Amino acid sequence: MCNLNLYLNDQLVMEDVMLVEKRGDKIIATDLFGESKEFQGEIVKIDLNNNMVLIRG
């Protein structure tokens, strides 16, 4: 299983992310426990080697 960490402008904002969706101008991330958070910005990097998603907002 691949759990990702989500970074917004190089700051860790969410751990154990299982799902990332783009909905209009929002990015919705859902973690292992089903909790979701919304972010504004663009996904600039998905690095499965380092288990990270980077958003710039």
pLDDT, one tens digit per residue, over 9-40 is 999 999 999 999 999 999 999 999 999 999 99
> Given a cut of 90, is residue 2 above it in pLDDT?
no
pTM for the full predicted model: 0.90
DSSP 34: S
**Is residue 1 over pLDDT 70?**
no
Environment class of residue 20 by beta-carbon count within 10 Å: exposed (0-12), middle (13-18) or buried (19+)?
A: middle
How do residues 32-54 score in pLDDT, each as one tens digit?
A: 999 999 999 999 999 999 999 99
Residue extents of the structural domains in the chain: 4-56
